[in-house]
Structure 1
Amino acid sequence: MTYLIAFLGAALAGAINTLSGNGSAITLTILMEVIGLPPDVANGTNRVGVLGNGFAASYGFYRNGRFEVTDGRRREMYQIVGITTVGAVLGVYLSLITSNAVYREIFRYLLIVMLGVILVKPKRWINVPEGEHFISRWLSVPLFFALGIYGGFIQMGMGVFFLAVMVLVARYDIIQGNVVKVVVVTIYTVLAVGIFAWRGLIDWPIGLLMAAGQMVGGYLTAAYASKHPKAGVYAYWLLVVVVLGAILKAFWPG
Structure 2
Amino acid sequence: MEEWYHYVLLALLGLVVGALNTLAAGGSLLTLPILIFIGLPASVANGTNRIAVLTQGIANVAGYKSKGKAIASPFILYLSIIATIGTLIGSKLAIDINETAFNRILAIVMVLIVIVMLVQPRLRIDNFEETITGKRQFWAIVSFFFIGIYGGFIQAGTGIFVLLVLSTINHLTLMKSNVIKAVVMVVYTSAALILFGLNGKLDWEIGLTLASGQTLGGWITSRWSVNKGDGIVKILLIIVVIFMSIKLWFFN
8 Å contact kept, 1:6–1:30: no
User: After the TM superposition, which residues 133-172 of structure 1 pair with which residues of structure 2 at under 5 Å, given as runs?
Assistant: 133-134=131-132, 136-172=136-172
**CA-to-aligned-CA distance 1:41-86 (integer Å, 9 cap, x gap):** 11111111111111111100111111146xxxx2222222222111
Query: 1:172: how far off?
Result: 1.0
Query: 1:104: how far off?
Result: 2.5
> Which residue of structure 2 lines up, in the alignment, with residue 39 of structure 1?
42
Query: 1:116: how far off?
Result: 4.6
> Which residue of structure 2 lines up, in the alignment, with residue 25 of structure 1?
29
> Which residue of structure 2 lines up, in the alignment, with residue 206 of structure 1?
206
> Which residue of structure 1 lines up, in the alignment, with residue 220 of structure 2?
220
8 Å contact kept, 2:19–2:217: yes
- Compute the RMSD of aligned alpha carbons: 2.4
8 Å contact kept, 1:163–1:174: yes
1:112–1:14: structure 2 CA closer, same or farther, 3 Å change rule? closer
> Which residue of structure 1 lines up, in the alignment, with residue 12 of structure 2?
8
Query: 1:22: how far off?
Result: 1.4
1:214–1:167: structure 2 CA closer, same or farther, 3 Å change rule? same
Correspondent of 2:117 among 112, 115, 133: 115
Query: 1:176: how far off?
Result: 1.5
Query: 1:103: how far off?
Result: 3.4
**CA-to-aligned-CA distance 1:95-124 (integer Å, 9 cap, x gap):** 112242463255245325413542x4x2x1
> Which residue of structure 2 lines up, in the alignment, with residue 63 of structure 1?
66
- Return the alpha-carbon distance in structure 2 between the equivalents of residues 109 and 30 of structure 1: 16
Query: 1:239: how far off?
Result: 7.0
- Return the alpha-carbon distance in structure 2 between the equivalents of residues 242 and 150 of structure 1: 24
> Which residue of structure 2 lines up, in the alignment, with residue 95 of structure 1?
94
- TM (normalized to structure 1)? 0.84
**CA-to-aligned-CA distance 1:8-62 (integer Å, 9 cap, x gap):** 00111111112221111222233222x3211111111111111111111110011
- What amino acid is aligned across from residue 144 of structure 1 in structure 2? F
1:42–1:248: structure 2 CA closer, same or farther, 3 Å change rule? same
8 Å contact kept, 2:140–2:169: no
Correspondent of 2:229 among 231, 234, 247: 234
Q: Count the aligned residue pairs.
A: 239
Query: 1:138: how far off?
Result: 3.9
> Which residue of structure 2 lines up, in the alignment, with residue 228 of structure 1?
none
8 Å contact kept, 1:167–1:174: yes
> Which residue of structure 2 lines up, in the alignment, with residue 249 of structure 1?
243
- What amino acid is aligned across from residue 9 of structure 2 in structure 1? I
Report the 3-state secondary structure (helix = DSSP H, G, I; strand = E; otherwise coil) of the residue aligned with 1:136. helix
- TM (normalized to structure 2)? 0.84
1:5–1:30: structure 2 CA closer, same or farther, 3 Å change rule? farther
1:247–1:168: structure 2 CA closer, same or farther, 3 Å change rule? farther
Structure 2 unaligned runs (5+)?
none
Report the 3-state secondary structure (helix = DSSP H, G, I; strand = E; otherwise coil) of the residue aligned with 1:96. helix
1:127–1:137: structure 2 CA closer, same or farther, 3 Å change rule? closer
Report the 3-state secondary structure (helix = DSSP H, G, I; strand = E; otherwise coil) of the residue aligned with 2:200. coil
1:110–1:83: structure 2 CA closer, same or farther, 3 Å change rule? same
Structure 1 unaligned runs (5+)?
226-230
- What amino acid is aligned across from residue 170 of structure 1 in structure 2? N
- What amino acid is aligned across from residue 173 of structure 2 in structure 1? D
